[in-house]
Structure 1
Amino acid sequence: MRYLECPDTYEPHAGDGPLVFLAGGITGCPDWQREAVRGLSTTDWVVANPRRQNFPIGDPSAAETQIRWEHRHLTRADLVLFWFPASDAQVTTQPIALYELGAAAAGGRRLVVGAAPGYPRQTDVRLQLWLARPDVEVQSTLRATLAQARHAL
């Protein structure tokens, strides 16, 4: 696996596997991306993670850089893996991730989606995807979502 984190830009290398984008909650969510990266470490994929270890919160241009990076890599990805986690400390609906899911689903992107049972909009994610993309089965655990990604690629 080759790991890519915002703001580093994906440049294809010979022998790279598919580009997989880790989409889903960042703000107010557990760091599920770290677990996903560990779970995908034995693949030959390029894994693009929008969650930065050190987000420059004092930089006024950081938000625009982040949004542009995410858009670029979401649209270039061979597979977009969405995970909507629950959190005991702070439950958040992750509205931007929901927007990105809607755009990806409507655009026909190759998707793998999971939503934890404690995610407050889990029913919405399941029903909206069933209506728009019945080919996408929403998983209930991150482990099952990662397994579905392996199967999809």
Structure 2
Amino acid sequence: MHRPAAGDPPSVFLAGGITHCPAWQPEAAAALARFVVLNPRRADFDLSDPSQTDVQIAWEYRHLLLADVTLFWFPACDAALTVQPITLYELGAAAAVPARRVVVGAAPGYPRRADVVAQLALARPDLPVHRTLPETVGSAHALLTSLV
């Protein structure tokens, strides 16, 4: 990903559950297709290869900083104990910077939804935590449209 050039549409990073989670990113990417969508889900990611983890983390770090908007989605995942710690870390880092444009959603079945709501109420009381992916994507779409 290059730095956006004049005339490029705004960009959105899809931050959220990947491991043991449903593939929610294609639905979000399709709804946001008129913008530059930065999707970290890889079809060929090998969890057993530690070097791939380093590559993935570096890619995500760079693109999180480049994105105009970060959409955070915490889905209810297959594994009841999947709390998506990397996404929680990324949300905490983003929420600590008031100028960062973020949209947040957490499914009612996400086991730490109450924590996400409580933490954001303290750190960024202006940010609602949406309950569905379509609501979250719709909010991101509106924010991205305001940047055009």
TM-score by length of 1: 0.87
Among 120, 126, 136, the residue aligned to 2:117: 126
CA distance in 2, matches of 1:25, 1:10: 25
Task: Answer yes or no: is 1:90 the counterpart of 2:79.
Answer: yes
Q: Please list every run of 5 or more consecutive structure 2 residues that lacks an aligned counterpart in the other structure.
A: none
Deviations 1:43-83 (A, max 9, x none): 2x110001111114454421111001100111111100000
Deviations 1:13-61 (A, max 9, x none): 55321111000111111011111112212x2x11000111111445442
Q: Please list every run of 5 or more consecutive structure 1 residues that lacks an aligned counterpart in the other structure.
A: 1-8
Partner SS, residue 37 of structure 1: helix
The within-5 A match list for 1:3-152 is 9-13=1-5, 15-41=7-33, 43=34, 45-57=35-47, 59-87=49-77, 89-91=78-80, 92-108=82-98, 109-152=100-143
CA distance in 2, matches of 1:136, 1:26: 23
Partner SS, residue 12 of structure 2: strand
Alpha-carbon distance change, 50 to 147 in structure 1, aligned in 2, over 3 angstroms: same
Deviations 1:62-109 (A, max 9, x none): 11110011001111111000000002x313100110000000000221
Partner SS, residue 134 of structure 2: helix
Q: Percent of aligned positions with the same letter in both sequences?
A: 60
Q: Is the 8 A contact 1:10 1:73 kept in 2?
A: no
Of stretches 58-67 and 113-122 in structure 1, the one that deviates more from structure 2 is 58-67
Alpha-carbon distance change, 93 to 60 in structure 1, aligned in 2, over 3 angstroms: closer
CA distance in 1, matches of 2:53, 2:63: 15
Q: Is the 8 A contact 2:3 2:66 kept in 1?
A: no
Q: Is the 8 A contact 1:83 1:114 kept in 2?
A: yes
TM-score by length of 2: 0.89
Instruction: Provide the aligned length of Structure 1 versus Structure 2.
Output: 142
